[in-house]
Structures are given as structure tokens and as C-alpha cells.
A and B are shown apart, each in its own frame.
Chain A
Amino acid sequence: MATTAAAPLDTEALLDRSAGGGGRPRRGPGRILAWVALVLIMAATLFPFLWMIRTAFSNGAALSTQPASLLPVEPTLGAFRRVLGLASTEEAQAQGGSGAAIDFGRYLLNSVLVSVLITAGQVFFGALAAYAFARLRWPGRDTVFFLFLTALMVPPIFTQLPNFLLMRDLGLLNTYAAIVLPFFFMTPFAIFFLRQFFLGIPHEVEEAARLDGAGPLRRFFGVILPMASGPITTLAILQYVQAWSEYFWPLLVASEENVRVLTVGLGIFRAQTPQGTPDWSGMMAGTLLAALPVLLLFAVFSRKIVNSIGFSGVK
């Protein structure tokens, strides 16, 4: 999707400043109404997740008997066994599966591998470039930065058609390299995000190291990078989630079983039953496996993520 970027903004700091009630409405019917609205919004957000879980733990063949039951219908782990390729064809079909071979365990590993590689590359190379843009002086710097900015304007599909040909010509189709490479070295967002943070570090900090005789390399790794651990964590999480969700590109270059990522696997699973009744519980078990890792990551870092979403992290 299109990306634009700016400064890492700490919403929390702003919140602290405006704490103390600053003109917030007090009690009254309006406030109760507002809370009712908030609760409704949260319910509308959470219910689909509940439904995903409820269906994933149901017996697919029995779903139609109690389509509105809030709890799993004939609770079973069958759907998970099925999508992980652990169930026999008969067992799968008995519970509403298609019986076709599918291995979400493999896709899960592929997704983790690919997303970790993409995130590592983007954060590391992005930090290097951001430092060069923010704190080093070199001829042509502003021109190159402007060029990078224009990369934000190009819709991904525009570059992905030729990039597909490039991967094909390099003989990389259906390899991890094909999925990772276009995102690995540079993403405008990472560079802008970190550049904005680096710009904000007072020059005295680096100047002190410079006077001690530290060159740019040592100043970057020894002084600047440790200071940026907060924004780097935030960036890494955002990029990981992004890489994890990517569907279009891996669909083009890596649909074969051994390198298939979760999103592509889900698309294929869905297509396995175009007619008749889809294997709903299997499908929901697959989506749950795909959603769980990022949701767990989020559970750990939610405060950090939520507070760093500003036009800061517009993305």
C-alpha cells in the first residue's frame, strides 16, 4: 500500500502534557452515551475475532447445525490438525475438510523467516541511510533524498510487474530471495521514519564523541544507534506486521508449496473449495494461525505501538 512518512511522534508525551482534564467533559447523559458508543465500537471490533476462534475450534461438518451458537460447535482441534497437515484424508473429510494436502505449519515458518529477513534488512539499511541523510554532509544528498521521496509516489503494482520479470530472469521465482529482495535494501518509510528521529538528536551528543576522535562509523554504532533503540523497535514492529501481511508480491513470485507464505496459503486454501460448502472451520483455523503471531507481538508491545501511531507513522 502507499506509504508516506514523517517523524516518530510520541503521543504519550503529548498526552501527559495535556493530562489533568484540560476541558474534558464531566459526567452527564452525553458522557454515558459516549461510553455506550465506545463499547459498541469495541464490540464490533472484537466480535469477528471471537467468531474466528469459535469457528476454528468447531467441527466443520457440524457448523450448519448451530450456525448462531456463540460457543464452538462440537469442540475439536480437528480444524488445526487438518490445516497443519496432521489429519488423514478420511479424518479431514469427516469434519468438512476437502482432504487436499495443506501444510500451514510450513507456511507459518516461511512467513516468519521472510518477515524477519525483510524487517532486519529494512531496519539495518534504513538506519544507515537515514543517518547519512540526517547527520552526514555529502554532495548530492538532498537530490538523492528527493529521489527517494518520489519512490513513495509510485504505486507498488507499477514496479511489481517489471520486478516479477526481473526475478524470473534471475531464475529466482519460488525462492525466499524473490519474496525478500525488493523490500530488503530500501523502503522509503523506514528511511524517513529514522531520519526524522536522527534529525532530532542534539548535535552536542555527537560532537563530544567527535572530539574524542571517534569517526562517523563509531559515532553511528556507538552513540546514535543505541539512542535510537526505541524508534527502531517501533519501526521493526511496524515493518514486521507489514511484511507479514503482504499478499500481492509473494503471490506473484512464490506460490509453490515449499516457499509459500501464510497469506498465499490462505488464498489457495480458499480456492480449493470454490463450489459446494467451503471448509469454514479449517479456513478459520488457518486465519487464526496467521493472525496469532502478530496479535501476540502486539499484546507485548501494544503501548509502544499505539503511542507511536501518529502522522509520525502514517503508513
Chain B
Amino acid sequence: MATTSRVARPRLSSTGDALRPDSNGSTRERLTALAFIAPALLGFAVFYFWPTLRGVYFSFTEYDVFNAPVFVGLDNYRALFADATFGNAMLVTVEYVAINIISQTVLALLIAVLLHRVTRSVFVRSIVVMPYLVANVVVALLFYWMLDAQIGITNQFLGWLGIEPVAFFGDQNLAIPTIALVNTWRHVGYTALLLFAGMVMIPHDVYEAGRVDGASEWKMFWRITLPLLRPVLALVLVITVVGSFQAFDTVAVTTAGGPGDASRVIQYYIFDLAFQRLQFGYASAVSVVLFVILAAVALVQLKLMRAGESDVA
């Protein structure tokens, strides 16, 4: 599990330092380092650091993108509390994340176990990860077509079973589950491969011992695989949950937030506010909130993960 802990707590000093005790290096080495780091530092400063500061500043302003921003203090944040569309966007996003993450994690676990216990074929793994290589937009349109209410193949199939055509993207109650499951289709194989890589690191004699003791595959999954996989699983969950909160592409090309506000997830709402309603300041305030939520989610999950690590190692 060494790799995993490295992800959670990247080692800030490299192993190589043991070679020479002076940690600041020679002048020549310092100059080289400066030259090597300069492009990345420039990119970081201009496209990450500066816009982060600006984003926070804009969240305290009223800004229509054309005229100079006007400082309004906490007005945007106050407005958030009264904004029913924002509340709805949060709800819809949470529903999306819940459906997406639960279905994706359960399925990915199943696939990973199959890959781990049944076959190690690279071919099978390649097939499973294929959807991940295709753009979100492509997957979204493909399913928009397959799930079409009139001549989509899914509804033809449902028709044979005697079920009336379903407007998957056009129904208030179905839009979010549909979009969530479409994204599950794209990401599940990749998630399964991450979990699979975690399973491969479990020493195989543990399973050998389990079999000698007459444990069933079912039992071994619950008693061996899952407990030993917990740190990896937690890490994968942090990444998938944080990613899931930022769903945009699929919504943008299929429902555009509709019907009504039924699929107006938070990221689409921000886009909508900034670029269609030109409320850039308010959009920034909403994205500050999204930022805080994601940081909190990641922090809580990483805490849980560290708790998990201790009882495994």
C-alpha cells in the first residue's frame, strides 16, 4: 500500500537528499533548478494562482463582464441564501453525485473483482476502459440518441417488453438519474481499473490461505479484499466524488439544465450565470461555495482514509 500513502501524503523531501547533506545545492544546481521550474512556475502563477485570487475578489463584486467590477461586499453571498435556483442546483447536484457515485462504485467493485479473480487478460481490461477514452460530449450524444423517446434503441427494446416510450432526458424526474448513469457508463471501467490495481497489491497468499480454510469467494471478498482495499477505495472515492460535483459536459449537450431546472447542476448554473446572464460576480460567489464544498468533501474523505490506513497496515 506504499503507493497509496504517497498519494495522500506526498513526500515533500525526495529520497535523493541523503546523498549530500547540504540541502540547498550548488549555485549551478540552483540556477538550473530555477530555469527548469520557471515555465511551470509561470503557468502556475498566471493560470492558477492569480485567477484564484481574482475569482475570490470578483465574488465580492457586481460585474457584468463589460463594465468595471463594483465592490458590493457580501451582497452576493447574502443573495445566495435567497436564491431558490441555487438551492435547487445544490439539491440536483447532490442527487446526481449520489446516483453517479453509488452506481459507479458498486459496479466498479464488481468488475474489479472479476478482473482480479477470474481473468487477468489485458484485452478484457482494454475493453472495459474504452468508454473513458472517449470524450464526455461524445458519450453524452451517443446516449442522447440511444435513449431518444421516438426511435432510440432503448425504447424499441422497452416496447418489446410492452413498456410505453420513456423520455429519459425530457422527464423532470428522470433527467438527473439518466445523466448520472450515462456518466457511470463512461467512468466505471476506469474506476474498476484503479480498484483492480489496488487489489493486485494484496499479497496473493492471503487468498491461498483463505481457500485452504475453505472460505468461499463471497466470504473472501468481504473478509479479505474489501478491508485491504479500503485505503485505495477511499482515495478513489475522493477523486470520483470531487469530479462528480463538477459535472457539466453531459448536461450542456443534452438537457441544457432542463426540463425546467431539473438538471441545472451547480457547474452548469455557474456557466449560465456568468456567460448567459452576465452576472460574473454572482457566478464567482457560487463557484467559491463550490470550491469550499469540494475542499470539505476531500478533507473529510482523506481523514476517513487515514483512519482506514492505520487498521490495515
Contacts and interface: CB of A to CB of B under 8 A. Distances in A.
Interface in A25-83: 25, 30-31, 34-35, 37-38, 41-42, 44-46, 48-49, 51-52, 55, 63-64, 67-68
Contacts of A134: 14, 16
Contact of A184 (B43, B205, B236, B243): B43
B313 interface: no
Contacts of B275: 252
Interface residues of A, number: 122
Interface string A282-315: 0110110011001100100011011101111011
Contacts of B40: 125-126, 128-129, 148, 185-186, 191
B114 A267 contact: no
B253 A270 contact: yes
B119 A38 contact: yes
Interface in A1-30: 1-7, 9, 11, 14-15, 18-19, 22-25, 30
Contacts of A131: 36
23 contacts: A2-B246, A4-B7, A18-B204, A22-B207, A46-B130, A51-B153, A68-B156, A129-B40, A145-B12, A146-B12, A149-B10, A151-B48, A157-B270, A161-B58, A161-B274, A185-B40, A185-B43, A216-B32, A245-B134, A245-B135, A247-B137, A294-B133, A314-B239
Nearest to A147: B44
Contacts of B79: none
A207 B19 contact: yes
Interface string A255-269: 000000011001100
Contacts of B274: 161
| Residue among A126, A131, A166, A302 having the largest count of chain B Cβ atoms under 10 Å | A302
B243 A128 contact: no
9 A-B pairs with least C-beta separation: A185-B43, A22-B204, A23-B207, A137-B25, A186-B43, A310-B197, A162-B51, A245-B135, A129-B40
B120 interface: yes
Interface string B16-44: 11011011110011101110110111111
A144 B48 contact: no
Interface stretch (B97-105, B172-180, B280-288): B280-288
A99 to B, nearest CB: 19
| Residue among B10, B12, B126 having the largest count of chain A Cβ atoms under 10 Å | B10
B217 A30 contact: yes
Given A67-B156, A295-B133, A283 B141 contact: yes
Given A23-B204, A241-B133, 4 more contacts: A4-B7, A48-B131, A155-B290, A311-B3
A305 B14 CA distance: 27
Contact of B252 (A247, A280, A307, A309): A247
A85 interface: no
A158 B114 contact: no
B131 A4 contact: no
B238 interface: yes
B249 to A, nearest CB: 5
B160 to A, nearest CB: 8
A197 B117 CA distance: 29
Nearest to B48: A151
B194 A311 contact: yes
A52 B142 contact: yes
B78 interface: no
A132 B39 CA distance: 12
B67 interface: no
B119 to A, nearest CB: 7
A135 interface: yes
A219 B274 CA distance: 48
B248 interface: yes
A305 B248 CA distance: 26
A69 B201 CA distance: 45
A267 B23 CA distance: 52
A294 to B, nearest CB: 5
B12 A142 contact: yes
A144 B33 CA distance: 12
Given A23-B205, A48-B185, A136-B25, A129 B39 contact: yes
Given A14-B200, A196-B6, A199-B16, A295 B34 contact: no
A104 interface: no
B146 A48 contact: yes
Nearest to B286: A157
A284 B248 contact: no
B257 interface: no
Contact of A48 (B25, B143, B157): B143
